[in-house]
Amino acid sequence: MIKLLTIIGARPQIIKAAALSRAVKDKFNNEIKEIIVHTGQHYDENMSQVFFDELQIPTPDYNLNTGSGSHGKQTASMISGIEEILLKEKPNAIVLYGDTNSTLAGAIAASKIQVPVIHIEAGLRSFNKSMPEEINRIMCDHVSTLLFSPTKAGYDNLVKEGFEENTLPPYSFNNPKIYHCGDIMYDNSLYFSSIAEQKTSVLKEYALQTGKFVLATIHRNNNTDDPIRLNALFNVLNTIATENKIKIILPLHPRTAKLLPVNLSPELYNKIKSNEYILIIPPVSFLEIIALEKNASLVITDSGGVQKEAFFFQKPCIILRSETEWIELINCGAARITDADEVKIKEAYTHFITVKDLYFPALFGDGKAAEFICGEILKYVH
- Quote the CA–CA distance of 304 and 311 in Å, as a whole number: 11
Write out the catalytic residue numbers. Answer: 219
Footprint on this chain of ligand UD1 (rule: CB under 6 A): 10-12, 41-44, 47, 68, 99-101, 132-133, 219, 221, 253-255, 258
Nearer to ligand UD1, 304 or 316 (CB): 304
**147 CB-near residues (< 8 Å, 6+ apart):** 119, 122, 123, 141, 158, 163, 176, 177, 178, 179
> What is the smallest separation between the CB atom of 323 and ligand UD1, expressed in angstroms?
15
Q: Is residue 275 exposed (0-12), middle (13-18) or buried (19+ Cβ within 10 Å)?
A: middle
What's the closest the beta carbon of residue 219 comes to ligand UDP, in angstroms? 6
Beta sheet of 213-217, edge-to-edge order? 278-281, 247-251, 213-217, 298-301, 317-319, 335-337
In the shown chain, the binding pattern of residues 6 to 25 toward ligand UDP, with x for contact by CB under 6 A and - for none, equals -----xx--x----------
Please choose, out of 30-38, 54-62, 300-308, 334-342, the segment that lies near ligand UDP by the rule CB under 6 A: 300-308
Give the shortest CB-270-to-ligand UDP separation in angstroms: 24
Binds 255, which of ligand UDP, ligand UD1, none (CB < 5 to 8 A, cut-off by type)? ligand UD1
Rg (CA), the chain: 20
Q: Which of residues 324-353 bind ligand UDP (CB under 6 A)?
A: none
- Within residues 190-249, the interface with ligand UDP by CB under 6 A covers 217, 219
Least separation in angstroms between residue 99's CB and ligand UD1 is: 6
> Distance between CA 210 and CA 43 in Å, rounded?
32
- CA distances from residue 329 to 40, 304, 314 in whole angstroms, order as listed: 32, 11, 11
**Contact (Cβ atoms closer than 8 angstroms) between residue 48 and residue 286:** no
For residues 177 and 294, which CB has a smaller minimum distance to ligand UDP in the complex? 294
Q: Which does 283 bind (CB under 5 to 8 A by kind): ligand UDP, ligand UD1, none?
A: ligand UDP
